[in-house]
Chains A and B, each alone.
Chain A
């Protein structure tokens, strides 16, 4: 019998007799991998997987997207960002649309691409649009550190970076409907596994850090179901080939040297205290919003989309009245349909009719 069958059968045995059990994954790449491998087809009916707020594209507030668009419109600015952010709409505009109208927006595979460009084009103002969680924030810090070291003056950062633990506390507080948590393996590779101990210890939730292969996801799910059955929540590191108990100290030191926690607005979830990262006051000359004296943008709430409930794990994407009708990958209304790994887009893409 192969490994997949073995683990699948053990999940079925462990799940027998359990009531409806909801496992939330909080990493967009998990969402993607679960759909891509068709993991749901291998789980018993009483085990339900829902997607939490782990896609930085999805949770970036429209207010922040509006600021990024404003930066891209400045005549002397070259804005660098990850490809993921290009299609995110704010109102009727996106960075991709600005690009097609002549704005200088460039896709980077690494934040350091922005630094290399800034050195080659000293007359341009280069802005790095930093999004992402613990895994990606150190990259922005390294970019800033190198810019400072190399005395590059024409580079600044627009930080929409966020942190995971406080968001999880806010989400999983009361009536969240989530029974167990599949923790993000690549975040944990930076933060260390211990950063997720608060889940069983404070919130009494079984938690398992998982990798992204089918076998890894299934073992983590098996651990969660087993803990749910035994009633003993704990943190299991089911991705030990990558995740260590302790953090990546170099990364942590870099982030601490450049960023400080701040309150942050999450698309679909609202303001979550101390869940964002802004540049420390002593580094404000690298802060693009300050450098270009941008005014905060107020974005009115515009539609009946239920992204908030999807991100909280309250509903499946199909329970949103807009899903698959007016809100589709070609014309995303809600945040979760924007990125291909957004909960709704991934659902639309990989589940579809009949599966």
Chain B
């Protein structure tokens, strides 16, 4: 239901962060995830940062495939 796009935090000014989407930036509120820092990779939904993203995607997929083997 919820389109959320990954980006990187470039600037934080009070409750608002500038998010770099690679090619363009846009501002988003960090009201729902105040504990973020410049350089964090985050998920943005409807103008708000909602969660941090662990950038190591490849390793994660490997781990998941191993986990599934144990099911």
Contacts and interface: CB of A to CB of B under 8 A. Distances in A.
The answer to whether A and B touch in the complex, with CB atoms under 8 Å apart, is yes
B57 A234 contact: no
Nearest to B27: A110
Interface residues of A, number: 53
A198 interface: no
B1 A135 contact: yes
Interface string B38-52: 000001011110111
B17 interface: no
A27 interface: yes
Given A110-B46, A113-B47, A189-B51, A29 B71 contact: no
B54 to A, nearest CB: 4
Contact of A139 (B32, B34, B56): B32
Given A139-B47, A248-B51, A184 B1 contact: yes
Interface in A9-28: 10, 27-28
Given A29-B1, A223-B71, A242 B51 contact: yes
Contacts of A138: 32, 48, 50
A332 interface: no
Contact of A132 (B1, B55, B57): B1
B65 A7 contact: yes
A132 B2 contact: yes
B4 interface: yes
A186 B67 contact: no
A133 B1 contact: yes
A340 to B, nearest CB: 11
A111 B68 CA distance: 39
A187 interface: yes
Given A110-B28, A136-B45, A250-B33, A189 B65 contact: no
Interface in A92-126: 108-113
B32 A254 contact: yes
A302 interface: no
Given A227-B71, A241-B53, A250-B34, A111 B46 contact: yes
Interface of B: 1-4, 28-29, 31-34, 43, 45-48, 50-57, 60-61, 64-65, 67-68, 71
24 contacts: A6-B65, A29-B2, A55-B1, A111-B47, A136-B45, A139-B32, A139-B46, A139-B48, A142-B48, A146-B31, A189-B43, A222-B68, A226-B71, A227-B71, A236-B67, A236-B71, A240-B54, A240-B64, A241-B55, A242-B54, A244-B51, A248-B32, A248-B33, A254-B32
Interface of A: 3, 6-7, 10, 27-29, 54-56, 82, 108-113, 132-133, 135-136, 138-139, 142, 145-146, 184, 186-187, 189-190, 215-216, 219, 222-223, 226-227, 230, 232, 234, 236, 238, 240-244, 248, 250-251, 254, 341
